[in-house]
Amino acid sequence: MTLPPDSLPPGSPPLGGFPPLSAERIAAGVRARELRAVDVVAASLARIERADSVLCAFAEVWEEEALRRAAAVDEQVAGGVRLPLAGVPIGVKGRAGLRAAPARALIAAGCVPVGATSVPGSGTHWQTWGLGAGGRTVNPWRADRTPGGSSAGSAAAVAAGLVPMATGSDGAGSVRIPAAWCGVVGLKTTNGRLPSADRTGLAAAGVLTRYASDAAAYWRCVRGEEEGEGYPSAPLTAVWSADLGFADTDPEPAALAHGAALRLADTGLVRLVQLVQLVRRNSSLVRLEDPGPAWLALRAAPGTDPSAVRDADRLRAENDRRLAALFADADLILTPTTPNAPHGHDGPGDRYSTALTWAFNLSGHPAMSIPAGFDSDGCPAGLQLVARHGEESLLLRLARAAEAAEAARPSYPERERESPA
């Protein structure tokens, strides 16, 4: 059967032929037996074969195993088994990605892993890049730029339409940064809500998708939790900060993210305020301490510098106190996802792209990056949404609302730019 076309979320790079279906559309078609999982997976594999020599988003492609799994999904559906994500091709982060609990849950829900997505290779300390089977992973919007990392291949594969969904993990922004730089949706879950092998507790599982509704489908499958129906009767209070009090954020990503935040406020779901407007009795609400030194100390090998760890624990406790005070008055924090645009393949220089993300790995809060538009170089930027612990469902509802609002906007030239894939 010929796969039908599907509308794409704003800012999706075309890849020739029909636009890829969303995960939810694929699953509905396979469950209704209007589509065969084998055909959907074969189409995904064909797109990978056509595009990945340029993108290098995959470290391994499991063609035979993927087609075998897809055939098994078709047999289950024919036998009356209801699979929530029947026949959805997915990428899994890294060669060990199949062992992660979220990937196993997605497979149980009917997803078909088609390959291991690229992660940073050896030989450099910086993580905002990826190394696929054919070389360095490129950004689908500009091949001379990195897609971000460490979930580099997952973001590139989703942005280019090779798969509708890919798993990731986020220890300092490793889902949110590539989501922002590739123009897709990236969810970092609350630390500890899903299993993680990270010894430091800084990393949390996550997912990258083209559609916010597909991120919600991921959450239902891996956590068994609905994103909720409807919206609050009163607007949520959303605090905007371009720098969290310490980051050196460039003007263009800050402006793009602020514009996206204003458009979210235009939906009536949130009331946007500046961070200084929430100051009560404690002026420390205005800013966080720079989390970088604490994150680096906690991530270092155990026992390397006990005094640095003590300082890190002090800083972490202070930021946790400030965030608790902020969330007592506000429902959300909105920031640019990154302080800078995607860098080239020669490395980030002395800039920390993690400046606005790793604070929430230290604190454990759930956070999302959603598309915020394109900069003057044609690169995507992201808006970061942060909620209280355990409020992934709230983030997902807002991301869907923001996506619907973007889809209703008039066409913009940047939406027509073609991907080098």
- Note the pLDDT tens digit of each residue in 178-222: 999 999 999 999 999 999 888 899 999 999 999 999 999 999 999
Rounded CA separation 103/287 (Å): 37
Rounded CA separation 38/31 (Å): 13
188 is annotated as an active-site residue = no
Q: Say yes or no to pLDDT of 234 above 80.
A: no
**pLDDT average, residue stretch 382-395:** 97
* Three-class secondary structure of residue 112 per DSSP: strand
Q: Say yes or no to pLDDT of 419 above 60.
A: no
CA proximity to 204, closest of 178, 167, 179: 167
- From 22, 118, 150, 369, the catalytic residue: 150
Rounded CA separation 77/34 (Å): 11
CA angle, residues 379, 382, 384, in degrees to nearest 5: 165
pLDDT digits 0-9 by tens, 235-287: 899 999 999 999 999 999 999 999 999 999 999 999 988 765 665 444 444 48
- From 12, 22, 44, 93, the catalytic residue: 93
- Residue 19 confidence (pLDDT): 52
Rounded CA separation 37/28 (Å): 11
- From 169, 174, 196, 393, the catalytic residue: 174
User: 122: alpha, beta or left, given left = phi > 0 and alpha = psi -120 to 50?
Assistant: beta
- Percentage of the chain modeled with pLDDT above 90: 77
Rounded CA separation 276/312 (Å): 26
Nearest 10 degrees: Cα torsion 46, 50, 52, 53: 140
Q: Say yes or no to pLDDT of 362 above 70.
A: yes
- Residue 231 confidence (pLDDT): 58
Rounded CA separation 260/373 (Å): 8
User: 11: alpha, beta or left, given left = phi > 0 and alpha = psi -120 to 50?
Assistant: left
pLDDT band at 304 (very low <50, low <70, confident <90, very high): confident
Q: Say yes or no to pLDDT of 230 above 70.
A: no
E strands of 85-164, at which residues? 89-93, 112-117, 131-132, 135-136
213 is annotated as an active-site residue = no
Same fold, 23-223 and 236-409: yes
Joined together, the tokens standing for residue 357 give 């993300």
Among the residue ranges 279-283, 295-299, 348-352, the one predicted with the least confidence is 279-283
419 is annotated as an active-site residue = no
Rounded CA separation 309/288 (Å): 18
- Residue 76 confidence (pLDDT): 98
Annotated domain spans of the chain: 23-223, 236-409
- Residue 159 confidence (pLDDT): 96
What's the mean per-residue pLDDT of the chain?
A: 89
For the domain made up of 23-223, give the CATH fold.
Amidase signature (AS) enzymes (3.90.1300)
Alpha carbon distances (Å) from 216 to 60, 288, 399: 27, 30, 9
CATH for 236-409?
Answer: 3.90.1300.10
Joined together, the tokens standing for residue 403 give 């996506």
pLDDT digits 0-9 by tens, 78-135: 999 999 999 999 999 999 999 999 999 999 999 999 999 999 988 788 889 999 999 9
pTM, entire model: 0.91
pLDDT digits 0-9 by tens, 122-162: 878 888 999 999 999 999 999 999 999 999 999 999 999 99
Q: Say yes or no to pLDDT of 13 above 70.
A: no
Joined together, the tokens standing for residue 130 give 């990826």
- Residue 229 confidence (pLDDT): 52
